[in-house]
Chain A
Amino acid sequence: MAITPRMESPKPLAAPGAFSSHLRRIIGLANIPLLATIAALSGYGLLVVGSAIAGSPEYSFRRQTMGIVIGVVLLLIFWRVDYRRFSAWFAPLLVLDIILIISPLLPFIGVTINGARSWVNIFDQQLQPGELAKLVTIVMMAALVSRYGGRIPTVKDYLRCLLILFIPIVLIMLQPDLGTGMVLFAIGAAILFAGGADWKWLVLTLLALVALILLAFFIDPLLDQAAGHDVFLKQYQKNRLLVFMDEDLDPSGVGYNVQQAKIAIGSGGLFGKGLGLGTQSGLGFLPEAPTDFIFCVLAEELGFVGCLGLILLYAALIGLSIWAALRSEEFFGSLAIIGILGMWVFQILENIGMSCGLMPITGIPLPFVSYGSSFMVVNFMALGLILSVWSHRSTRPS
């Protein structure tokens, strides 16, 4: 960093007190297209969730809306905060990350749902600290990697980053929450990639990981046999992989979800059956419709056109965020944005991919759309961070 002479910000464009100039300043700080995209996306998501949960008393539209409202408040707070101060907080963030991830394993507050200890119960509200841990991991990794200023010099440094990344990943796998673990990995991969890790190291890491997975597959049955019960992979995880490899497997048993999801998407056709008129979701053939399979509801009720709309909104969100990352003077800000995008893109790919049979099934929510307020709040905080980066960009006159 030493050789980079600090660019001095130019003077304010207009004298303080002038209303018009104040407005222009706010407009300049706010990324209007990004805000519009966020508004459209959360509105669209709310519409689909509203249709998906209609008539199901176990879901609450109000709670979902409250998630957005709290999210917007947190967005404003994060926007106001100068994100740059986070870059010095690497160690506290790591500690916070670990506390968040192990909190569901603690007695009294930890809650087990569907066999996974992923929830905590605070003031009668069930929260998933794992969702917040995603954001903490993003900021922590960005703080770590940005120190190298765009090029990780040695293998030792690279391995150090990798090691720190694997702390939250390994901990979250203990819950067990394979899905969030994979998201954390995607976040780390995006930050290391953009942070200037050598191509060769990245490729080697990926190969090592693939080898590790294959080895696990190979050893898993032997371990199961030796131990007499499932060690690594649970039976349902094995089934999901089997279904992924053969999509016509047992359509009334383990392949039911995949089959019904594809029927829901496919029967949507070009324009869909109309909002609230989906038969697959409305009549209950589609399991977990408002959460994991929310995309199927959208695809069934709004058709290919609706899917295209969602994907275009996502593309706009990601494009504008990358634009903000490129405009950031601070490398830390750029990396944080890339980490956030890594999280979103992976979740979009996995969620839509599993719905249409391109990916194995994992319970990962679709950003801004899936029912569930923990992840919604985290998403808005992440947006606040992006807006903060945008606001603190170099206001170089053009």
Chain B
Amino acid sequence: MDTVTLAILLGVGIFIACLVILVSLLRLRARKQESQALKKSFGRHHIPEGVGIHDVRKAKVHETIRRREGKGRFYLFAALVAGIFGVLLARLWSIQLLSGDTYMKLAEQNMTSDVSIPATRGRLLDRKGRELVGNRPSMTVAAARSVLEDRNIIHRLSLVLGIPVGVLRRALLDDTVGAQSDRILAQDASMRSISYIREHPGLFAGVTVEERTVRSYSYGTAAAHLLGYIGPVTETDLLVPNENIAYESGDYIGKSGAELAFESLLQGIRGTRTYRVDVDGNPTALLSEVPPVNGSDVCLTIDLDLQRRTDRILSDVITSSRERGFEHANAGAIIVLDLADGGVRAMSSYPGFRPEEFTNGISQDLWDQMNSTDSGYPLTNRAIAGLYPAASTYKVFSGLAGQKYGIIKEDTHFTCNGIWTEYGEAWGQRCWVYPGGHGSLNFEEAINQSCDIYFYNVGASFYERWSGEDIDEDRRENPLQSCLKSWGFGSPCGIDLPGEMDGRVPDAAWKKQTFADTPEDARWQPGDMTSLCIGQGDLLVTPLQLVNGYAGIAREKMLVPHVFDKVIDGKGETVIAYAPEESPVQPSFDAAHIARVKDGLKRMAARSGRFDHLPVAAASKTGTAEVISAKAETVWFVAYAPFEKPEYCVVCVIEQGGEGSSSAQLGVEYTFAALYGVDLGEIIVSEGSRER
């Protein structure tokens, strides 16, 4: 019940009780007084002359009755007062004794003020403990928005900091930070200007100078996509509850890449200083302090040297492609996977960006520029989010499916005449050697030569057996697609980075749903199946899926790829270490089948000549993908080595990298050279065009 109601009820109760007691007391008293008064007046014979005893008696009785009535109201008044006091006491009881603790806390809160101490964000290190992302102190000049009203201060600041007045004004007008927060005017200000501002507080009212910690990226653009960037916490971020961290407005949080993926490890826990404050909120004494718990340092599986090398190789390969006439080559990715545990040793995506641009909140202009079509979308991590047809690199997976379902047997040969007319002359499909032909070849040779027609035949067999026109619709199956999905296609690999794409393994159901509006296109055709077998058509894979699939073939087991290695404490001791994780779906295959695939890949690697300088043998596959919207083909090269005991698997993809796969091959060749310490020199590009 509400305490006010309680107090009033109690008061009314007291009032009524007092009334009853007083009225009964009054009756008793009045009766006694009446008899006494009568007795006395008669006893003393104070009766005036000419007044009969009867009259006196009557007058006395009358008077007594009147007085009794008049006095009744006095007693009523007393009871009313008792009721009022009862109400007040009940209310005080409720406030002071029932809710006393609550109000005590509120009184404490009045007197104290909590100031949070930010925790230092943990660093990101490479697998050897070298710093990839750290923190550095920066002298920051900030000012309250009200400084806008004083032109003199702005002009003085402009002179001292060497920043144009207009720029300062714009910074002060910034509405993306809270109205009460100071606007940052200059980072990394020189000691000279800092001391000048500090020594003349009168000239710079509302301007504050403080040492802040800012995120530093020691190697600029290196592994930018993988590391990601941070930014000020937004209202949407604050809405998502994080079990460990209570964010405050103005905090910086990971927005992409590893910065986002390991946010809860990196962020740390804020400390609190409690001050006693006066009524105006000015601190008068420090009462207590809870020190902050700094964020943990996270080691990634990345090897800094290798990463910087692949970044450079990727950029050089693309530049050299352009110089060799493929002027549309503009993007690509390289991934180096450690086969032992699925750790990513290097992951490069081109074009790149500088994460440092984001540390203080990126400007709208730059953001718009980075998200324009012309920019080539530098923020996209193409290694995990770029979607391409896998092209010929996919033949090993359709080949494995063909063997599993008995379409390709040990002596299965198909004949390549350069053009395949199984479904009529009008629907003839060419092999890449057309107008030549591969002649009759077995599976290993088909992989080595990357013969399209061999795999068209495989696709046609799959179609006829499981999804042909003469099979009832409800009895059709997708064994090929199921097998491809078991190698990790069509769904994310599960890498511990945000933004990984699903890719797509098309089947009849997908096509029916996607083309629901145009039924004539919705039918699953034999051409869909044959295209799928050569990695074209509607198939889409990410570079990570492809390298992960090849890694699966190389180690004959699927592992979840990852970039997290371990968390170390201040002394460098490991606190949390990565435990290798097998993929939830594992492909099933015969050892003989996979041996034939590997044999084909080994032959191909030998033929390519790209691994001649390596101390170990390798296995590799090329791919040249036709992308309808592109002006040139997207090229792949994927390889693993050593052949016998595989250690690394590398993929390189170059968008519009040109015919054949020479540019992608170049990327993988140089990457392996770096892995095995072979000096190939630099990729030849003209000096002026080399990007840094």
A interface residues with partner B (beta carbon < 8 Å): 3-5, 8, 150-151, 190, 193-194, 196, 260, 262-270, 279-280, 283-285, 299, 303-304, 307-308, 311, 314-315, 318-319, 322, 325-326, 331, 334, 338, 341, 345, 348-349, 352-353, 356-358
Pull 27 A–B residue pairs with CB atoms less than 8 Å apart, ordered by A: A3-B59, A3-B63, A150-B67, A151-B70, A194-B70, A194-B77, A196-B69, A263-B103, A265-B95, A266-B100, A266-B106, A267-B104, A267-B106, A270-B96, A283-B278, A285-B107, A304-B97, A307-B89, A311-B89, A322-B74, A322-B77, A322-B78, A325-B74, A349-B88, A352-B92, A358-B4, A358-B87
* B85 with A311: CB separation less than 8 A: yes
Query: B77–A193 contact, CB under 8 A?
Result: yes
Instruction: Provide the residues of chain A in CB contact with B63, threshold 8 Å.
Output: 3-4
From residue 70 to 124 of chain B, which have CB atoms closer than 8 A to chain A?
70-71, 73-74, 77-78, 80-82, 84-85, 87-89, 91-93, 95-97, 99-100, 102-104, 106-107, 110-111
B292-337 contacts to A, CB under 8 A, are none
Determine the distance from Cα of A190 to Cα of B216 in the docked complex, in whole angstroms. Answer: 80
Chain A residues closer than 8 Å to B56, beta-carbon distance:
5
Whether the Cβ atoms of B96 and A345 lie closer than 8 Å is: no
- Footprint of A on B, CB under 8 Å? 4, 7, 46, 48, 56, 59, 62-63, 66-67, 69-71, 73-74, 77-78, 80-82, 84-85, 87-89, 91-93, 95-97, 99-100, 102-104, 106-107, 110-111, 278-279
What residues of chain A lie closer than 8 Å to B70, measured between beta carbons?
Answer: 150-151, 194, 196, 331, 334
Q: How far is the CA of A262 from the CA of B110 in the complex (A)?
A: 13
Q: Which of B87, B97, B110 meets A285, CB within 8 Å?
A: B110
Question: What are the residues of chain A within 8 A of B95 when measuring CB–CB?
Answer: 262, 265-266, 356
Chain B neighbourhood of A265, CB < 8 A? 92, 95-96, 103
Q: List, in ascending order, chain B residues with CB within 8 A of A358's CB.
A: 4, 7, 87-88, 91
CB distance from B435 to the nearest CB of A (A): 86
Bound-complex Cα distance A21 to B7 (A): 50
CA of A150 to CA of B72, assembled, Å: 11
Which residue of chain A is the closest to B91 with respect to CB atoms? A356
CB-based contact B77/A341 at 8 Å: yes
Contacts of A315 in B (CB 8 A): 81-82, 85
Contact check, B100 vs A268: say whether CB atoms are below 8 A apart: yes
In the complex, are the beta carbons of B78 and A196 less than 8 A apart? no
| Shortest Cβ gap from B86 to chain A (Å) | 10
| Distance between B94 CB and nearest chain A CB, rounded to angstroms | 9
Q: A326 contacts which chain B residues (CB < 8 A)?
A: 71, 74
Task: Output the least CB separation between B362 and chain A (Å).
Answer: 36
**Contact (Cβ within 8 A) B96 A5:** no
Q: Do A308 and B78 have beta carbons less than 8 Å apart?
A: no
A338 partner residues in chain B, CB cutoff 8 A: 74, 77
Given contacts A264-B107, A349-B88, A358-B87, contact A270 B48 (CB under 8 A): no
- Contact check, A304 vs B96: say whether CB atoms are below 8 A apart: yes
Chain A residues with CB below 8 A from B110, complex form: 260, 263, 279-280, 283, 285
In the complex, are the beta carbons of A352 and B88 less than 8 A apart?
yes
B100 touches A314 (CB 8 A): no
Given known A-B contacts A279-B107, A356-B92, A190 and B4 have beta carbons under 8 A apart: no
Using CB atoms, name the residue of chain B closest to A345. B81
Asked whether B59 lies within 8 Å of A299 as measured between CB atoms, the reply is: no
| Chain A residues whose C-beta falls within 8 Å of the C-beta of B92 in the assembled complex | 265, 299, 304, 307-308, 352, 356
- Chain B residues with CB below 8 A from A322, complex form: 74, 77-78
The answer to whether B96 touches A319, judged by C-beta atoms less than 8 angstroms apart, is no
Question: In whole angstroms, how far apart are the Cα atoms of A257 and B71 in the complex?
Answer: 41
The interface residues of chain A lying within 8 Å CB-to-CB of B78 are 318-319, 322
Extra contacts, 11 of them, besides A304-B97, A338-B77 (Cβ < 8 A), are A5-B48, A265-B103, A266-B100, A268-B96, A269-B97, A279-B110, A280-B110, A307-B89, A315-B82, A338-B74, A349-B88
Q: Which residues of A contact B91 (CB under 8 A)?
A: 353, 356-358
Please state if A150 and B100 are interface contacts (CB–CB under 8 Å).
no
Give the distance to chain B from A189, nearest Cβ to Cβ, in Å.
Answer: 11
Which residue of chain A lies nearest to B87 when distances are taken between CB atoms in the complex?
A358
Q: Which residues on B sit within 8 Å (CB–CB) of A4?
A: 59, 63
**B9 CB → nearest A CB, Å:** 13
How far, in angstroms, from A350 to B668 measured CA to CA in the complex?
Answer: 88
Give the 7 A-B CB pairs with smallest separation, nearest first: A266-B103, A267-B107, A284-B279, A150-B70, A269-B100, A304-B96, A267-B103
Roughly how many angstroms separate A34 CA and B71 CA in the complex, as a whole number?
20
Chain A residue nearest in CB terms to B102? A266
Q: Would B104 and A266 count as touching, CB distance under 8 A?
A: yes
Once the chains bind, are A8 and B46 in contact (CB under 8 Å)?
yes
User: How close is B400's CB to chain A, nearest CB, in angstroms?
Assistant: 70
Q: Which residues of B contact A3 (CB under 8 A)?
A: 59, 62-63
A190 CA / B77 CA spacing, docked (Å): 8
- A352 proximity list for chain B (CB < 8 A): 88, 92
Nearest Cβ on chain B to A246's Cβ, whole angstroms: 12
State whether A349 and B74 are in contact (beta carbons under 8 Å apart), knowing that A266-B103, A279-B111, A284-B278 are contacts in the complex: no
Which residues of B have CB within 8 Å of A331?
Answer: 70
B96 in contact with A303 (CB, 8 Å): yes
**Chain A hits for B71, CB < 8 A:** 326
A5, A264, A283: the one within 8 Å of B279 (CB): A283
Chain B residues lying within 8 Å of A303, measured Cβ to Cβ, are 96
Q: Is the CB–CB distance between B88 and A356 below 8 Å?
A: yes
Chain B residues with CB under 8 Å of A284's CB are 278-279
CB < 8 Å neighbour of A345 from B7, B62, B84, B106? B84
